[in-house]
Amino acid sequence: MKATGVVVEYNPFHNGHYYHLQETKKQTNADCVIAVMSGNFLQRGEPALLSKWKRTKMALLGGADIVIELPYAFATSHAPRFAFGSIFLLQALGAESFCFGSESGDISVFTKTHDSLDSQQADYQLNIRNVMSDGLSYPAAAAKAFEALNTPLPLDLSKPNNILGFEYIRASRELGNVLKPLTIKRKNADYHDVVLGKGNIASATAIREALFSKDLSKAENYMPAFTYDLMVEDQQEKGTLMNWERFFPLLRYQLLSSSPSEINSYYEVEEGLEYRMIEAIKSSDSFNTFMTLLKTKRYTWTRLQRACLHVLNKIKKEEMHQLLETPPAYIRVLGMTEKGQKYLSSVKKSLEFPLVTTVSKHDLPGLRMEARTSLVYAQGALVNKLSAEKEEFNTPPVIVK
């Protein structure tokens, strides 16, 4: 059997994702699509709107055959590590290719960009060192450094999905260039669009905005019916869809009851950010106000949200470094179709890493972090908190026939 891979968050699964999965199958002619999906917390430093199990079900109903979990450490890391963890897992599971959505839509542009960059590596490193000293955030500095190269890169690296794609390919090259990269042009929606468009494809950001404007149904046109139903179901079970505001009382308590050195011990809290956090929390009655007070030119909003996430989850620098230094140490299956099941049986014996379907049967640092952060995630529930806490441990992989 031939497998291809996609890297996803599905927060939530919408028509654009559906299109991506269908196109991926068409272009690769694969028998099986493996989706590497983030769990409770996402790369932008946010809690997922709804549970990983519901999002897994969406993925399977929408065309994926296997959903595996990108561990917390990688899922909440900056783009290079996020990409590395994801591509590593796809390769470990024997995929032959991977396919990502991008603004560019032309894979040769990505390849040429990497080739060009390889030949200008020294210049690039010099440029980036120069512009970093201006106090710019890393992404802004990287963009400037690219711009300043003698031979301009063919890829527009100001676009978020182009950046991610660029990192996937870099990771894959580091891992021996085993997987064939493919890209699909994103349709009709810009990543950052916040107003719902007129077509039936809108960005996840725009959909989330609509969801939190108190009217779930506003977003209904932009997603398959199963997404909408699963979202309503999750909201009923927990009394809410999750967002940062749900966790703000806990973050606030954590910051106010911790010493600066304790806060500094958490991952991504650097350069005195702990003092800014302690100062900002004193006059913030919402997460949004807090973030606005925290924001400076040096840090992106995403970077600051991730730091907040690690404070909330009490993720120490050392434990995060240890997990990020090496590739993911296990493959956790969140769900599969019958075809996916068949694929897993066929590769099972040749896997170099444990295939995890029941977390309680394994004792691994990455899974322990997943368990801890899942318990924190469950605290966002307004009702049935106890059952939300048990989800991580008691839910068997989702099977869709």
**Which residues are registered as beta bridge partners of 35?**
6, 67
- Cβ proximity to a second copy, 185 vs 316, nearer residue: 316
Q: How many other C-beta atoms lie within 10 A of the C-beta of residue 258?
A: 18
- Residue 42 CB, nearest approach to a second copy (Å): 19
- Residue 76 CB, nearest approach to a second copy (Å): 15
- Residue 354 CB, nearest approach to a second copy (Å): 23
Q: How far is it, in rounded angstroms, from Cα 302 to Cα 227?
A: 26
- Residue 313 CB, nearest approach to a second copy (Å): 7
Three-point CA angle 266, 69, 137, nearest 5°: 45
Three-point CA angle 189, 190, 192, nearest 5°: 130
Q: How far is it, in rounded angstroms, from Cα 20 to Cα 42?
A: 20
- Residue 123 CB, nearest approach to a second copy (Å): 45
Q: Which amino acid is at 203?
A: S
Q: Which residues bind a second copy (CB under 8 A)?
A: 249-250, 252-253, 256-258, 282-283, 285, 313-314, 372, 375-376, 379, 385-386, 389
- Cβ proximity to a second copy, 168 vs 266, nearer residue: 266
Tell me the binding residues for ATP.
7-20, 101, 161, 186
**121 exposure class (CB count in 10 Å sphere: 0-12, 13-18, 19+):** exposed
- Cβ proximity to a second copy, 116 vs 264, nearer residue: 264
- Cβ proximity to a second copy, 220 vs 245, nearer residue: 245
- Cβ proximity to a second copy, 17 vs 246, nearer residue: 246
- Residue 376 CB, nearest approach to a second copy (Å): 5
Tell me the binding residues.
7-20, 101, 161, 186
- Cβ proximity to a second copy, 146 vs 377, nearer residue: 377
Give 300's contacts (C-beta < 8 A, 6+ positions apart).
137, 138, 139, 140
- Residue 324 CB, nearest approach to a second copy (Å): 20
- Cβ proximity to a second copy, 14 vs 246, nearer residue: 246
